[in-house]
Amino acid sequence: MSSFNTIRDPLTDHLLTPQNAVLVIIDFQPVQVASIQSRPKRELVANITALARIGKLYELPTVLSTVNVKTGRNQPTIPQILEVLDAVAPYDRTSINAWEDEDFVRAVRATGRKKLIMAALWTEVCLVHPALDAISEGFEVYPVIDCVGGTSLEAHELGVQRLVQAGGKPISWVQLICELQRDWSAQGISERVSEANLLDLRDVRVQLAGDDSQIEVRLGGQDQGARLGKALSVLDAQRQTSRGPLISYIDLTQGKRAIVGLVTGSHTVAESKNE
C-alpha cells in the first residue's frame, strides 16, 4: 500500500494543515483555570499544554491573548503554556471578547490564514464570543473541545452547542495532531510518533507508530524534541540486540542515562550522550 504520488495542496486543502491554520489561545490564566468546573483542572492543563506543543511542533502561527494583566487585576498565562510558547508575546486586553480588541484581531488577520484552531477559558464566554465574530467574518473556527472548559458542565455544553449551530467545527487535540501529520511516511522525527500525552505536568509520554507501537518513550519536562531524537537513536541501537523484541519503554528522564525497560519487568541502562 502507498500514498498518492501527488500531495494535496496544503494551502487549499479543506482539512487542517500546518500551512493553512493558525493557533489561537485565549485567557489561560490562573484565575480562569481555577474556576473551571466542567473538566478536571489537571486534565485541562495537560491538554492545553499538549495543544501548545502541537502548535510549536508543526510551526503554526500562534496568537496568545490574556485579559487584565497590565491593569494588575489578573495574572499572566499559566507557566506550562509559556514554557512551550516562550517566543510568543501575548496580546493583553481589557475587553471580555478578544475580537473586540484591535491588536488581537490585527494579529489574527496578519497571519493571512482563514482556519482558526481555538482554545479559550471560559468556553461559554471567551471562546464563544470571538469564535462567533470570526465565523461571521468568514473564518473557519475549530474549537479544541478537550482543551477548554466552563464554569459548569451545562455552561460548557451550551457554549459548544452555540458554536456548532453557528458553523464551528469541534475537534480534539489528538484529532488535530493526526490531521496535521496526515501521513506517517513524512520525513522527520514525527514520522514515528503516533500519540503524545501529558500524564502530568513534568512527564511527556509518546507512543511510536508502526513496528514500535507498543514501545513507550518517557521524555521528562525539558527539551522534549531533542530527547525524543535521542530516544529514537537509543531504540534503534537496542533493537539490534537480543533484547530488541522485548523492549517496552525508553526512559530519558534520568539525565544522561537511558533506561530501557523490558516486557519481562527488568531493565537495562544505555548511555544517552550530549544530554
pLDDT of res. 68: 97
The domain covering 185-271 belongs, at the CATH homologous superfamily level, to Cell division protein FtsQ/DivIB (3.40.50.11690)
b/e map 126-161, b = 16+ CB within 10 Å: bbbbbbbbbbeeebbbbbbbbbbbbbeeebbeebbe
Decide: 145 and 119 in contact? Cβ < 8 Å: no
pLDDT of res. 2: 67
Residues 29 and 109: their CA atoms lie apart, in Å, by 24
Residues 231 and 124: their CA atoms lie apart, in Å, by 41
Residues 140 and 162: their CA atoms lie apart, in Å, by 15
Q: What is the pLDDT along the chain (275 residues), one digit of tens a residue?
A: 566 767 789 999 999 999 999 999 999 999 999 999 999 998 899 899 889 988 998 899 999 999 999 999 999 999 999 989 999 999 999 999 999 999 999 999 999 999 999 999 999 999 999 999 999 999 999 999 999 999 999 999 999 999 999 999 999 998 898 898 877 555 555 555 655 555 544 566 666 665 666 677 887 766 666 777 788 888 888 888 888 888 888 888 877 788 888 878 788 888 655 44
pLDDT of res. 17: 95
pLDDT of res. 220: 74
Q: Quick check: pTM over 0.75?
A: no
pLDDT of res. 194: 58
pLDDT of res. 15: 96
pLDDT of res. 174: 84
**DSSP letters spanning the chain:** ----SSPP-TTT-SS--TTTEEEEEE---HHHHHT--SS-HHHHHHHHHHHHHHHHHTT--EEEEEESTTTTSS--S-HHHHHHSTTPPPEEES-SSGGG-HHHHHHHHHT---EEEEEEBSIIIIIHHHHHHHHHTT-EEEEBGGG-B-SSHHHHHHHHHHHHHHT---B-HHHHHHHHH--TTSSSGGGGEEEEEEEETTEEEEEEPGGGTT-EEE--SS-HHHHHHHHHHHHHHHTTSTTGGGEEEEEEEETTEEEEEETTS-EEEEE----
Per-domain residue ranges of the chain: 21-176, 185-271
Among candidate residues 84, 126, 193, 260, the one labeled active-site is 126
Count, residues in the chain:
275
Domains 21-176 and 185-271 agree in fold: yes
pLDDT of res. 7: 76
pLDDT of res. 201: 40
pLDDT of res. 116: 98
pLDDT of res. 219: 79
Query: Class for domain 21-176, per CATH?
Result: alpha beta
Please indicate whether residue 178 is annotated as part of the active site: no
